[in-house]
Structure 1
Amino acid sequence: MAFKLMCSVALLLSLWSTAGCDFLVEGVLKMECHDRYFMIAIDLATTGEAPRFEAVDETGTYAITEDYAAKCGYSISVLSFLGLVELRASYFSCHTVKEAGFSFRFNLITTYQGVDAYYALNRTCSPPLSWSPREVTCEINYMEVSVRSELPCPSGLSNDWSALSPLYSAASQDWQVTFQNPDEQLPPMNLSHARREGYVFDLFNERIVFRTPYGQPDSYSTEVNGVPVEVVHATVFSRQSWVVIMVDLIAACSLDEGSFDSGYMIWDTPEALYPSLGSTQISLGLNGNLVEEAAAEQKGFVMARYNSTVQIGIPYNAEGGYRKSFVSDGIFEFYIFNLYLKQTSVDERHEETALRFHRTLVTPLLPASLTTEDQTNVAEGAFTIVLGRIPRDVQLTSVQLNGQELSVPFSDAAPYTLTEVVHANKTHSYTLKVPLDDPVVIQEFSKENAAMLHKLDVNCTLIAIPGNEPYYHTVSVTALMDVSPPSFDAVCTASGIDFKLAYRSFDYLWDISIGSDRLTPALAAKRGYTMSNDSQSLLLSVPLFTHGYKYKDVTLKGFLGTFEILVRDRDTSKVQTSTIKTCLFNTTELILCSTNGWMTVATDLAAVLPSGEIPTNTHLINSLCVPKEADGTRVLFSLPLHSCGSVVKLAKGNVTYQNKIYSVLADNVTEGMTVQCTYPLTSLHLLFSSHKFVSDKEGVGSIIPFLGPTKAIPTQTVTRPGTTTTVAPQRTRIPNLHLPPFYPTARYIKVYRVQNQFGPFSKGTKGSMQVKQFPRHV
């Protein structure tokens, strides 16, 4: 059954290789006259269900069934997956009318929703070639032989040939037929009986015609030089008195189904099926188009003669051939060729025999080896997989990516791309691109390679068209991507620094920290940062003077603030990289209390001075400690906590270093501010030892204005627990104190609004300065 189906394919291929169409009714592709047959092609797309045919003559209409077609010289092939139906009729078919040529009349019957529609199809053909004395046709479903008749027949033969000679009596002189095989001669039967057995004998256009389906009981199979052959040998005869009229009719056809070898479809036929004085002449082609042997060889055909056998080789990619895919636990392909061959021989009487073959040759199922090429370029950040050598009639219907199924074509919203490329060799390919960082990709960190391993399993579902049995093609690809710690983008703002991190799929391998503390929403809230974190990015706004800043180059015009974000290995906590951003900020009023025991103060004395007055002198408790920088009422001091007459005060849980800024006016009125840094005792190391100051935390600074009398300060009083010591004033000015070599790098912190032992705050500058107004003294 499968062979019969594939045979039908090749017959339909003739529709594509010939020119000229008659669109007589909707759905009729073409009607064509060939050298020995007439052909009608129907388009199933317009006729719906498989159409039916009826032969029409003056006696009525006759449904062309499978059995009736083989007996009467018709061949109908229906192939739904090509969308075609073809009817081929011999010029000697049962209901052909000989007028000016060979006239054919058919009814095409289509059915739609249970209703039949009839279309009349008519055509008259004139054979382009003259007839040989003997012509034999080996069709796909019958054998037919016609010989030239030299009998004086006025109008043709009836079914029992009683009209062949009006001198014969109907009782004893009917035409009869006997069949012969190599072993015996069978009993004769009259022609009416022979027709009931499926044989046809007729006198048509001055030719005696004999036709039989393959596999009749009176035919026999044999081998000629190793080639299987079916033969039917019929002899028709009639007797008048002592005269006997006999006609010998022999049909012999090669039944070789062909074989496939090294890219060629090979088909054999005996060279001498009929007597021949020499080599037979061969012309051949596909789909009913005959060319001479030399022209066929130019098209790639191969023909050889050996051991009295003609061997034809058809290249698998021959023009006019057909390729079909088949899916069953794999993708297979087979090639179909509708071979048309004419073999001409001449016998000892110089009578010519023309033998024509219509043979559908089908290759075995050949595995169609799909190719998979991994063209992934890690630098592009995507898997690139090419699935190639896919037969043109095989379509990709869906793709699974690590179990996630996607229909083809992909939606516009999908982050993946699938591109189809059609190739000239009747194949096509698909290129699939999947981003390496897509959530569907499995990612694993390889410590051995210090790289991220990306894994993707792709399961492609392919279906041969038409058909619905799927074939699954699976490919697994991996890619190693060198990983680097995340890096922030940083931007300076008027009030601080903004950091942004665009997440990568493997950034979870690291921790983000500020100093030794891991960055979390709780830490950000505690320290006054603004943090926004989602699956795409991390945004961190760090206001000026919050924990983690470092300051340098402080002047009245401005200062540099630096903030550092550390990236640590999640397992070892070792710092892998960092993002450091330094910005220039404007100086207003600030106090910085470093971890290494320095106080830096910038303030505007105008807050405690009469309007418009400029101090004539400004100093700390130690009058030799003058501003590092002054500009009108604005001053900048930088001093060690233990110097310039600073007073140390202990309280529960903290220690405060306090000094005062004195502003002397023209009328000898002294006004000023108290400045102080407060540290928690738990954070101090080596307190009061060798004037070395080490703290785990920055101090909290305060600037407190006061008013006081003008007086000289000849001595300096230093208060320590249990003692009071009067010391002569120091003569060394320290407007530009330098950090001693053994001090660590200073760290600074914003002055928080907290209450201390000096009372509530009545004034704040930029949220950092704490100021209290003291009573004015004259």
Structure 2
Amino acid sequence: MVVMSLGCCFVLPFLNLLLVISVHCNNVPDGVQVECRDRYLWVSIEKPLADRIFQIEALDDTGVYPIMEKYASECGYTHTYDDASGNAILRASYLSCHTDNPTDEVFVFNFNLITSDQGAVSVPLSKTCTLSLPWSNREVICEHKYMEVSVRNVHCASNGETSNSSTSSVAHESATNGFKVLFLKGGEEVASLSIGDARMLGYVIDATAERIVFRAAYGQPHSEIKKINGIPVEVAHATVFFRRSWTVVMIDLTGACTSNLGSFDGEKLLWKTPMVMTPLLYDHSGFVSEHIRFGVKGQLLDDSTIRDWGYMLDISGDSVWIGVPYSANGGHRWSFVEDNTYSEYYWVSLYYEHVFMDGSGHLTRFRQVKKLTSPLLLQVPFTIDQTILEEHYFTVYLGNFPYDVELFDVVLNGEPFSVPEAIQSGYPIARVPHSNGTHAYVLRVPFEDPVVPKMYFSEGILQYSLNINYTLNIIPHDPYYHSASVIAQIKDVFPPDFNGVCTETGIIFKMDHQKLGYLWEIGIGHYPLTTELAAHRGYLLHNDSRRLTLEVPVFTLGYIYEDINLKQFFGTFEILSRDAKTLEIQKSAAKRCLFRTDELIVCSPDGVMTVVANVTAPLPEAEPSRATLTYENEILVNRGLFPEGAPVITRDADFRLTVQCYYPVHDFNQLFVDRKFKSETPGFGSINQASDLTVKHMPKQTTPPNDLLLRYCKEV
């Protein structure tokens, strides 16, 4: 029987042998993305799943190992969050502690994602990666919290000659008993430790098939900060040595990482690193730089992308400068609010690579992950009025915000709406994403919506105004308030213009319709001019798509009568143009015409009756100079007033002229309490003549639009 235990197993019968063949299987759960990159495994765990994970474990043949913060730095794991999405990010070095790495070319990762779903639930994750970029003689990676150095292993035979790669690594065989690590600091030896003792202090020294690996967290007691061209660099000077027969093998595993935090010039994040990392050179005189590249989020960018994003790379003397514009692609903006003061900072995870060679002829690939952060900056959101008058909509842009800011609600001219309520009420709110990861909001509100007030700013200019109060949430729960006001003015907007023409029997008004005619209400006194009102009062109304025509007979309600005498009087009728929303009077059109009549009654708002009556019409004739006015407001002419009889005052008259005025009750604001009569509108009157011989009526009067009438009689 041959048993190869490497992963998933398939059992095949072959003659009398049971052959168990093992292959590597990828297992990626839902909500997880995995990529094999040239020196590490990249795992992105979507936020809903990441929020439920409370522990990640690494697995190998020896057991299960929780990846806690300190352990992660020692064993080659980096755990961060992608601020743009909220996803959890795990980076695992190809040379991490628990990676199955038989040849330094194929790397098998196994993890357990422990979630809190109904207790602790283990979600397995496995992935196999193949080396895509050949190893350099020496590789140095400066991660967020640790440095990792790996060099090509040295294979030595007993006669001192180098053995071939198929020979088991001397260092690997001696890892438990032959390895020693020497630490230097300031050029002086500070410690010589066994591998086990070094591991107890947080250092990891390991051997793979082809490489020796050294890993240390930053800030270890055996490291030091050196200045190179004025730039602080953390250096861990470690040398591994072991004895083999007559030979002592020493391997330099020195790591050096720029500890410069970077700076901000108000526009760009700047990071400076030495061009020549001197602690990593054996022979300075033979230094050759092959290339310098950089990127973000653990991936290098091509030159065109760097130009498009506005990044900068400058090599000046012995230093390399990298600049990242504030809010550029590849970085993240993070928001804060305190006392309704909104601030934010911008950061980017820079990825820097320098490949160089020194006089020894050995190639070094140096990489560094560096988080650059701006200071906390005060931010004031801005609004842009994008209103197009022809659309009759306010369009207001509010921006720009990082991913962690969301619009929660709006108050439009004092009316509050949540975002869904605003959209449902006819005020669209659109979220506008930008290529640099920021976003904005665009709000649209119709001019003629009830929530929008309008006024006449000046002659012919109609002004709409919109006051907006935004409530923004700094995720998860910090509110921030921002206000904006916009106005829109439409020119050449005038209230309707009526042209009045006098006729013998009344006044005819004409008005041509305008494009914005819906902005106005045509009114007679307090009442809007409608077909119902016209029919009720006896007006003749005709309205089509081009013109409105209104004919108002002289004795219908709404006239004001002036300069009345026995032959003629003037009648004035007024039409009002009111704002359809506020009902404020914007324009009036009044026409004054001369009318002739021998009978007239005018009921004025102050309770005065003016009566013109022809008392010579009855038979026999009455003498006007002998007419009297009684308490009942009836003009009486008795037979005794004629020449053949003596004057007698009696209510039983041979001729009677009855005068009556009616006023709508709701138009009174004073009535008899202070013995003063006052109505908001003129009254409606009638004159009835009666005698033994004839009864004559004035033209029929229509009734006002209110059924509650007050008959008014005044004692004189």
Instruction: Please name the residue that 2:362 is paired with.
Output: 351
- Return the alpha-carbon distance in structure 2 between the equivalents of residues 548 and 33 of structure 1: 89
Residue 137 of structure 1 corresponds to: 141
- TM-score of the superposition, structure 1-length normalised? 0.60
Query: Is the Cα–Cα contact under 8 Å of residues 287 and 359 in structure 2 kept in the other structure?
Result: no
How has the CA–CA distance of structure 1 residues 318 and 481 changed in structure 2, closer, same or farther, with 3 Å as cutoff? closer
Q: CA deviation at 1:680?
A: 6.9
C-alpha deviation, 1:547, in angstroms: 5.2
2:231 matched to 1:227?
Answer: yes
CA distance in 2, matches of 1:44, 1:119: 15
Partner of 2:353: 342
Q: Deviations over 1:612-661 (max 9, x none)?
A: xxxxxxxxxxxxxxxxxxxxxxxxxxx98779995335233455799xxx
- What is the alpha-carbon distance in structure 1 between the residues aligned to residue 477 and residue 586 of structure 2? 58
Pairs within 5 Å for 1:356-375: 356-374=367-385
- Structure 1 545/267 Cα, relative in aligned 2: closer, same or farther at 3 Å? same
**Counterpart-to-counterpart distance in 2, 1:314 and 1:647:** 109
Q: State the match for 2:609 in structure 1.
A: none
Partner of 2:646 in structure 1? none
Please name the residue that 2:162 is paired with: none
Give CA-to-partner distance per residue, 1:202-260, whole Å, 9 cap, x none.
Answer: 11123221111111111111221121211111123346899654333210001222223
Q: Which residue of 1 aligns with 2:440?
A: 428
State the partner residue of 2:676. Answer: none
By how many angstroms is 1:74 displaced?
1.0
AA in 2 matched with 1:186: V
Deviation at 1:365, TM superposition (A): 3.8
What's the CA shift for 1:418?
A: 4.8
- Given that 2:659 and 2:686 are in contact with CA atoms closer than 8 Å, whether structure 1 keeps it comes out as no
What's the CA shift for 1:124? 2.6
Alpha-carbon contact 1:343-1:354 (below 8 Å) kept: yes
Give the whole-Å Cα distance in 1 for the aligned partners of 2:258 and 2:382. 40
Task: State the one-letter code of the partner of 2:67.
Answer: I
Aligned to 1:648: 623
Q: 1:581 to 1:504 in 2, by over 3 A?
A: farther
In structure 2, what residue type is equivalent to 1:35?
A: D
Code of the residue aligned with 1:647 in structure 2: it is A
> Could you tell me which residue of structure 2 aligns to residue 41 of structure 1?
44
Structure with higher Rg: it is 1
Task: Give the conservation status (yes or no) of the 8 Å contact 2:27–2:127.
Answer: no
- CA shift for structure 1 position 485: 8.0
Q: Which residue of 1 aligns with 2:566?
A: none
Q: Which residue of 2 aligns with 1:407?
A: 418
- Cα distance in 2 for residues equivalent to 1:81 and 1:575: 54
The residue aligned with 2:55 is: 52
SS of the residue aligned with 1:409? helix
> What CA distance in whole angstroms lies between the structure 2 residues aligned with 1:146 and 1:519?
93
Q: CA deviation at 1:388?
A: 4.5
Give the share of equivalent positions with the same residue, in percent: 32
Instruction: Give me the whole-angstrom Cα distance separating, in 2, the residues matched to 1:562 and 1:754.
Output: 22
3-state DSSP of counterpart to 1:185:
strand
Between the aligned partners of 1:197 and 1:150, the Cα distance in structure 2 is: 26
Look up the SS of the partner of 2:48 in the other structure.
Answer: helix
Per the TM alignment, residue 324 of structure 1 is displaced from its structure 2 partner at its CA by 4.5
The aligned amino acid for 1:107 is: F
Contact 1:592 1:751 in 2 (8 A): no
User: In 2 relative to 1, CA 316–197 (structure 1 residues): closer, same or farther, beyond 3 Å?
Assistant: same
Q: Which amino acid aligns with 2:221?
A: P
Q: Deviations over 1:428-483 (max 9, x none)?
A: 3423436478467598x99x99999977543211224x422122112245678999
Q: Please say if 1:267 is aligned against 2:277.
A: no
Q: 1:335 to 1:642 in 2, by over 3 A?
A: same
AA at the equivalent of 2:38 = D
Secondary structure of the residue aligned to 2:74 is helix
Partner SS for 1:193: helix
Q: Which amino acid aligns with 2:442?
A: Y
**Any idea what SS the aligned residue of 1:348 has?**
coil
The corresponding residue for 1:398 is 409
**Hey, what's the Cα distance between the residues in 2 that align with 1:292 and 1:750?**
91
Superposition TM-score, scaled by structure 2 size: 0.64
Give the SS at the match of 1:350: coil
Return closer, same or farther for 1:681/1:187 CA change in 2, 3 Å cut-off: closer
RMSD, aligned CA: 5.5
- Quick one: which of 448, 465, 481 aligns to 1:472? 481
Please give the secondary structure, in 2, of the residue aligned with 1:236. strand
Residue 38 (structure 1) shift? 1.7
Per the alignment, in what secondary structure is the counterpart of residue 135 of structure 2?
A: coil
State the Cα distance separating 1:577 from its structure 2 match: 2.9
Distance change >3 Å, CA 35–CA 756, structure 1 → 2: same
Query: In structure 1, how many angstroms separate the alpha carbons of the residues matched to 2:335 and 2:425?
Result: 31
- Aligned partners of 1:70 and 1:213 also within 8 Å: yes
Q: Is there any run of 5+ residues in structure 2 with no aligned partner, and where?
A: 1-25, 158-166, 540-549, 562-569, 579-584, 603-612, 639-653, 662-682, 703-716
**Partners in 2 of 1:63 and 1:218 — Cα distance?**
26
SS at match of 1:103: strand
Aligned counterpart, 1:208? 212
Partner letter of residue 430 of structure 1? V
Equivalent pair of 1:105/1:120 in contact (CA under 8 Å):
no
Q: Following the alignment from structure 2 to structure 1, what is the Cα–Cα distance between the partners of residues 397 and 304? A: 42
Report the AA paired with residue 355 of structure 2. T
Note the C-alpha offset of 1:337.
2.9
**Unmatched tracts of structure 1, length 5 or more:** 1-21, 532-539, 552-560, 583-590, 597-638, 659-674, 683-748, 769-778
1:300–1:486 distance in 2 versus 1, CA, 3 Å: closer
Distance (whole Å) between structure 2 residues aligned to residue 767 and residue 595 of structure 1:
11
